[in-house]
Amino acid sequence: MTKRANGEGNISKYKFDEAGKCILWRAILMIGYNEEGKPIRKQFYGKTQKEVKDKLEDYKKELLLNTYNVDYDNITLADYYYTWLMDKKPSYKATSFKDYETIYRLYIKDRPIGKVRLKKLSQTDLKRQYRDLMNEGITPQTIHRINTKLKACLNTAIREEVIIKNPCSLVELPKITKTKKREVLTAEEQASFIEAIQGHKLELLYIVALATGMRLGELLGLKWKYIDFTNNTIEVYNTIQRTFVFDDNMKKKLKTIEQTPKTENGTRVIPLPVSLIPKLKEHRKKQLENKLKYGQSYNISDYVFTDEIGRIIDNKKPNRNLQSILKTLGIEPIKFHGLRKTYATRLFENGVPPKTVQTLLGHADIQTTLNIYTEVMDTEKQKAVDTLNNIFNF
């Protein structure tokens, strides 16, 4: 007798070789009834159980997406989330779509909560799901991210009048314990770092990061046409991201893509220190020399930061090199993003108003800027106290 796979519907072993080993699996799905009232079944075959299961799931999704009369009384959370996600796909940037797809694939699709009917979904179901995830070692930060993505999906279900209230707004989430991490270089450490990277292949990338506060993706996406050597400014107009891109069949492929910043604030003009202009011009000259040197092997583009043969720099390399250099200097390592916060810190230390810093960094929310400002001011207060202690040493 063939064995049905647990929880996977009618999937069974179909053919065996002479040794009794299964060489073909079959899945049967009932898709309706004919005019005589007899069930219509569709069959799928594959060499492995997984192959058959994937074919079955793909067909179910295709059937769901092409069915206009959706049974909202019985649709599961997983099916609704999937159809919602595919509807949103054209309007999402590749990186955002990947984030939502990851939530579906890892935390909804094959989880018990995914099988819950949407109309029956409650905060108790979510609480149980999040508790189970915590027991698996999933961090509170990730659970908050899952809830945020799921909340966006269910808000659509409310607008479509499928559900009345959003359980994601009601469920109690685990508290996030913030640990103080080192994220900024002091002025002295910054000076040591700049001295240590002289002649390094990524020297200019690091210096521009410290001088402009640009994100790594913005730096890698920077083109020469966006640098104004007359007014000494940089226009941040696009970013480079290495991410998974999904086709219409949800097949993913890792690609390097160029896209605009996530928010309107991300597109901005940043002043360049005058001392950087000669360095940038020298860098441009070196690129042109490499273009002549390597000929047809050179990858022609307008990007500022490329390797010797014109290819975009691997986005993992700047962070790895940064941490290695800092360790060599005896400085506690920070991530590449820390150079952005270091830029903001130097501005605050020199009296630049938070609103101006927000504009320069491209923060959509002033609170993000003020969080850095608060940290800087706390440090400055401590310096003031230390100074007072030295003056009034009774």
Is the pLDDT at 216 greater than 50? The verdict is yes
Is the pLDDT at 263 greater than 80? The verdict is no
Is the pLDDT at 389 greater than 60? The verdict is no
- Domain boundaries of the chain, sorted by first residue: 1-60, 70-179, 187-388
Distance, CA of 234 to CA of 226 (rounded, Å): 6
Distance, CA of 328 to CA of 321 (rounded, Å): 11
pLDDT at residue number 162: 87
pLDDT classification of 55: cutoffs 50, 70, 90: confident
pLDDT classification of 117: cutoffs 50, 70, 90: very high
Three-state secondary-structure class, residue 233: strand
The answer regarding whether domain 70-179 maps to CATH 3.40.1550.20 reads no
341-358 per-position pLDDT tens digit: 999 999 888 888 889 988
What is the crossing angle of helices 276-294 and 203-212, to 10°?
Answer: 150
pLDDT at residue number 203: 96
Least confident residue range of 29-38, 124-133, 148-157:
29-38
pLDDT classification of 191: cutoffs 50, 70, 90: very high
pLDDT at residue number 32: 59
pLDDT at residue number 365: 85
Rounded mean pLDDT, 164-172: 93
pLDDT classification of 1: cutoffs 50, 70, 90: very low
Contact 52, 11 (CB under 8 A): yes
Is the pLDDT at 331 greater than 90? The verdict is yes
Distance, CA of 5 to CA of 12 (rounded, Å): 7
Three-state secondary-structure class, residue 23: strand
Rounded mean pLDDT, 210-226: 94
pLDDT at residue number 94: 84
Rounded mean pLDDT, 39-57: 82
Three-state secondary-structure class, residue 43: strand
Three-state secondary-structure class, residue 91: helix
**Six token digits for residue 56:** 């079955």
pLDDT at residue number 224: 96
pLDDT classification of 205: cutoffs 50, 70, 90: very high
pLDDT classification of 382: cutoffs 50, 70, 90: low
Q: Which CATH code fits 187-388?
A: 1.10.443.10
pLDDT, the chain, mean: 85
Of 156, 137, 75, 146, which Cα lies nearest the Cα of 106?
146
pLDDT at residue number 133: 95
pLDDT at residue number 38: 67
Rounded mean pLDDT, 258-280: 88
Distance, CA of 277 to CA of 268 (rounded, Å): 19
Is the pLDDT at 69 greater than 90? The verdict is no
pLDDT classification of 385: cutoffs 50, 70, 90: very low
Rounded mean pLDDT, 43-50: 86
Name the DSSP letter for residue 303.
B
Is the pLDDT at 39 greater than 80? The verdict is no
Three-state secondary-structure class, residue 76: strand
Distance, CA of 357 to CA of 46 (rounded, Å): 59
DSSP class per residue in 364-383: SSHHHHHHHHHHHHHHHHHH
Rounded mean pLDDT, 353-366: 88
